[in-house]
Structure 1
Amino acid sequence: MADDTPLLVTREGPVVRATMNRPARRNALSAAMGEAWDQLLAELAADRAARVLVIAGAGGHFCAGLDLTEVASDLPPAERLARAEARNRRTGARFAAISALPQVVVAAVEGACHAGGLGFCCAADIAFATASARFAAPEVRRGLVPAQILPWLARRTGRTAATRLVLEGTVIAAAEAARIGLVHQVLEDAAALEAQLAATIAAVLQGAPGALAETKGLLAALGPVSPEGYAEAGAAAFARTSSSEEAAEGIAAFKARRQPGWAG
């Protein structure tokens, strides 16, 4: 079953492919998938034979964000708050770890790329999408906040475009995602996406491994993704909102496929 292998990792020589593998949930990020990601990233950080990491999703979708079935909890409020803070802190650290890898990271987006999925897309060095891909930061519509994806969105698209995306919470098409810089190129279909991946991988492998890693380091040295203290503030904000009555209503409405009460 897919949930037995929530992150499918394959390797062909220097190219590693990590496929988020919960297609029945549009590859929503579960705790088990997060643990698998953290293990892979720790291994890749020390792997000088690996040159490229491709991030993709199974079943025609990239990643629909956090699995909201794991947000709701019958735990006491203090414990629920602590768990939410820890989960969001790990999420932010995961995106930072992806960006800091010595390998060149390429996101291959099909279908839904929502919420936390945007974090994976924007933490990658290069991002491609099929024309049918759809992007959204819908957290405020669930009574939540886009705490740990926001710095990565702002870095990729600029603050103005990120602001509109996170405050409106609407779904945008791949062409619009490319226009605002969320992805670098839109391909017609999955076959064209694979062809572009092959071309990009071939181009990257022409670069010297050490020089590529040093170049990524120089890009990072241009400035931090977020100011000092943001990660903790974001984790605390997400924990507060995820434990709120708004989140309870927003998640219930999402599951029932209805409008939340505040939307009239």
Structure 2
Amino acid sequence: MTDLNGEAALNIVREGAVTTVTINRPHRRNAVTTSLLEEMGRFFAGCRFDRECKVIVIRGAGEHFCVGLDLIDQEDTDALLEVLARGDWDMGHTLRSMRACPQPIICLANGSVAGAGLIFALHSDIVIASEGTFFTTAFINLGLSGTELGVAWWLQRTVGLSMAREMAFTSSRLAASRALACGMISDIVPPDQLLAAGYAMAERITAHSLDALRLTKRNLDLALQSPLLETSYELEERAQISRAQSGALEEAVARFKDRKSSR
């Protein structure tokens, strides 16, 4: 898919076990279109069958991560309004595919993280922000409901009831410093260090086995959705048995003993 400037609106680059997804519409502050969402949906759906990729980094080109849906671009405005009127199935498919993909997703948030941008951040596993970044819902500014596509579920679990409802009712901006304090993001770095910080985190993740990462992400997601502690006990025990039976535990113990004996 190419944008009006002739460049790819979504860049997907694989380097080893890390895949970087870049929303490449900096002239529109990376506002998304229906065609871009469709392409993102296809990518994340395919990740379920990718045995080479261990982690995904999602970012925005330029000074902003993503400001939401593009309601100005004349080429796609009518299509977007039609989508909103009948239900945002394309965006819903993309988000379900994001959460279903077994690879951990690292979101690199910078500048404005609004509307759909906020939704992408909330559906990621780890968020690292640059200094000066802010997060906002934006939906109510368009005369729509203040929550959309899982925001009510994710935001209240992420920033707490009061802050989540303030953001939904007023579209107030949550500064990166406050997002860090409430646990919405993992770290704040200078803007020129954001990409390096994301890849450093990705490198730490790729040091572990693909199947261990997949089981960990699945159990974390299921624990959020289950009201019972017993469910987590059972699922996590099954995951540990599966890994132990694969020989992974035996190999790890052998490496540990080798390190101890070499000291």
Same fold (TM over 0.5): yes
Of 143-152 and 29-38, the range deviating more from structure 2: 143-152
* Residue 152 of structure 2, aligned match among 150, 156, 163: 150
Matches within 5 A, 1:188-199: 188-191=190-193, 193-199=194-200
1:6 and 2:13 aligned: no
Aligned to 1:24: 27
Letter in 1 for 2:56: L
Structure 2: distance between partners of 1:214 and 1:158: 27
Aligned with 2:169 (options 162, 167, 170): 167
Pairing 1:201-220 to 2, within 5 Å after superposition: 201-220=202-221
**Ranges of 4+ aligned residues in structure 1 off by more than 3 Å:** 1-4, 69-73
- Contact kept, 8 Å, 1:2 with 1:23, in 2: the verdict is no
Normalising by structure 2, report the TM-score: 0.76
CA shift digits 1:33-86 (9 cap, x unpaired): 10110111122121010011000001111000111237864x9xxxx66x3255
Deviation at 1:97, TM superposition (A): 1.7
Aligned equivalent of 1:126: 126
Q: What SS does the aligned partner of 2:22 have?
A: strand
Contact 1:131 1:186 in 2 (8 A): yes
C-alpha spacing 1:41/1:47, structure 2 compared with 1 (3 Å): same
Distance 1:57 1:87 in 2: 25
2:36 aligned with 1:64, yes or no? no
Q: Which moved more, 1:4-13 or 1:91-100?
A: 91-100
Two-structure CA RMSD over aligned residues (Å): 2.2
Unpaired stretches in structure 2, ≥5 consecutive residues: 227-263
TM-score (norm 1): 0.76
Instruction: Tell me the secondary structure at the aligned position of residue 62 of structure 1.
Output: coil
Partner Cα distance (1:120, 1:8) in 2:
16
Structure 1 contact 122–152 (Cα < 8 Å) conserved: yes
- The count of residues paired between Structure 1 and Structure 2 equals 218
For structure 1, the residue ranges without an aligned partner over 5 or more in a row are: 226-264
Determine the structure 2 residue equivalent to 1:246. Answer: none
State the shift of 1:134 in Å.
Answer: 1.8
Paired amino acid for 1:217: R
Quick one: distance in 2 between partners of 1:12 and 1:113?
26
Q: Structure 2 CA distance, aligned partners of 1:29 and 1:151?
A: 22
Amino acid in structure 1 at the alignment position of 2:90? R
Answer yes or no: is the 8 Å Cα contact 2:129–2:185 preserved in 1.
yes
Q: Which residue of 2 aligns with 1:135?
A: 135
SS, match of residue 203 in structure 1: helix
Partner of 1:222: helix, strand, or coil?
helix
Q: Which structure has more RCO (C-alpha within 8 Å, separation ≥ 6)? A: 1
Cα separation, 1, equivalents of 2:160 and 2:85: 27
Shift of the 170–122 alpha-carbon distance from structure 1 to 2, 3 Å rule, reads same
Distance in 2 (alpha carbons) for counterparts of 1:174 and 1:125: 17
Deviation at 1:188, TM superposition (A): 2.0
Counterparts of 1:109-120 in structure 2 under 5 Å? 109-120=109-120
| Deviating more after overlay: 212-221 vs 88-97 | 88-97
User: Of 44, 47, 50, which residue of structure 1 is paired with 2:50?
Assistant: 47
